[in-house]
Amino acid sequence: MNLTVHPAPPLHGAVRVPGDKSITHRALLLGAVAEGSTRIRGYLDSGDCRATMGCVASLGVAVERENDGDGGLVVHGRGLHGLRTPSRPLDCVRSGTTMRLLAGLLAGQRFASILVGDAQLCRRPMDRVVTPLRRMGARIAGVGGHRPPLTVTGSALHGVEHALPVASAQVKACLLLAAIYAEGETVIAEPGPSRDHTERMLRARGVGVESTGLRHALCGPVPRIAALDVAVPGDFSSAAYWIVAAALVPGSALLIRDVNVNPTRTGLLDALEAMGAHIERLDPRDEGGEPVADLLVRTSPLRAVEVGGDLVPRMIDEFPILALAATQAEGVTRVWDAAELRVKETDRVATITAVLTALGARVVPRADGFDVEGPTPLRGAAVDSHGDHRLAMTAAIGGLVARGETTVLGAGCIPDSYPGFAETLHALVPGALP
């Protein structure tokens, strides 16, 4: 599937983005092992989250869609020891979060399971979860060099202290889920602040996770997890496309409603504000243990920014769209400390360079980041998504500010994280799509 985009007139009005992907995955997994039913309102019905739903169902957990208008999901939890032996491999499709979090949850079960995925997922490294889980006593193996598929044979686990070499919420969540079943204390030390949804959600369900700075401790085994309904806020990583669109398309003033503004997620706001972007947080509030706000974005001239250190994990999924913003900013934007980008859905240093260069931008890739020189007038082109949803959406937003027509080739991956992206684009910019 291709998506063709034309230059946009000013963006006005209000948009809502779908529910947060990370919170939806966690609500499903914690709901599966909770005692009682969990209702998840505003869940993200994306390809990645459907993979988690499918795996949870294969583990014997009933997941029902409600038909009452606001379309919730109900997960009928089976308790910490109630999951069933899956009769076939658990298909994580293209979702790294599904595979890594499930590996942790399954390590302490009393049965064996196999975690499989598609070709894109099979290229992604799993040693970051395999190595610490083995230290906890897990019996887990991947294919040469710890790539998927993973076989996990449930075993008795014990707590360890593990220092993550790279900040990763997926690894932290994997180990916290294993720690629930482990004897003794598990301590996870992060080198930087990754998203903290797991810690928040575990605490809200009665599981003691003690966080002191970047160290997180959980004492297991946990006797039970309480069921707790979830209202999933809008995904900041999806809002990011409209934030940058409104910042770049001249004369725009766009309101993005109900966005999760957890500070472990909003590094892009810090970077854009340092670039001179006009972003107001309206009506800040707490919803179900997560900070939420409406964001009002107005176009403004941008200057280059430097992004490294702790800012990187706080905006790890936003580098493609940041790089697009940088093409329109005065000066050289430099990104470093971001080698992690090379092991996302694609090698994002390479794909950011390829996509933006195709639109006429000046991007220089480096081992742990890239430089973007701006401002550069972009020209429409046929641009390959490389099967990466975030690159596909970045190219589409690029098309709003490029001269001529932009065609995103392979846009069928967008619903991995953002079902309804093209429809929202169409509603917002009726002339932008043919």
Neighbours of 81 (CB within 10 A): 12
Q: Which is nearer to ligand S3P, 59 or 316 (CB)?
A: 316
Q: Are the CB atoms for 207 and 179 separated by under 8 Å? A: no
Residue keyed to tokens 């790089």: 323
Neighbours of 270 (CB within 10 A): 15
Structure tokens of 238?
A: 């999806």
Interface residues toward ligand S3P, by CB under 6 A:
22, 25, 97, 168-170, 173, 194-195, 316-317, 340
Can you give the C-alpha Rg of the chain in angstroms?
Answer: 21
Q: Which is nearer to ligand S3P, 16 or 314 (CB)?
A: 314
Q: Which is nearer to ligand S3P, 162 or 195 (CB)?
A: 195
Question: CB of 205: closest distance to ligand S3P in angstroms?
Answer: 17
Neighbours of 116 (CB within 10 A): 17
* Residue (of 210, 176, 185) closest to 30 by Cα position: 176
Q: Which is nearer to ligand S3P, 237 or 328 (CB)?
A: 237
CA distance 397 to 240: 11
CA distance 286 to 374: 38
Residue keyed to tokens 């972007």: 277
Question: CB of 173: closest distance to ligand S3P in angstroms?
Answer: 6
First to last CA, the chain: 14
Position 95, amino acid: S
- Catalytic residue (choose from 48, 235, 294, 317): 317
Q: Which is nearer to ligand S3P, 173 or 411 (CB)?
A: 173
Q: Are the CB atoms for 266 and 290 separated by under 8 Å? A: no
3-class secondary structure, 243: helix
Position 391, amino acid: L
Task: Provide the pairing of β-strand 3-5 with 230-231.
Answer: unpaired
Per the document, the length of the chain is: 434
3-class secondary structure, 132: helix
Question: CB of 111: closest distance to ligand S3P in angstroms?
Answer: 25
Residue 270 annotated as catalytic: no
Q: Which is nearer to ligand S3P, 112 or 214 (CB)?
A: 214
Q: Is the dihedral of CA 313, 287, 174, 239 positive or negative?
A: negative
Question: CB of 404: closest distance to ligand S3P in angstroms?
Answer: 32
Q: Which is nearer to ligand S3P, 91 or 388 (CB)?
A: 388
Which residues are known catalytic residues? 317
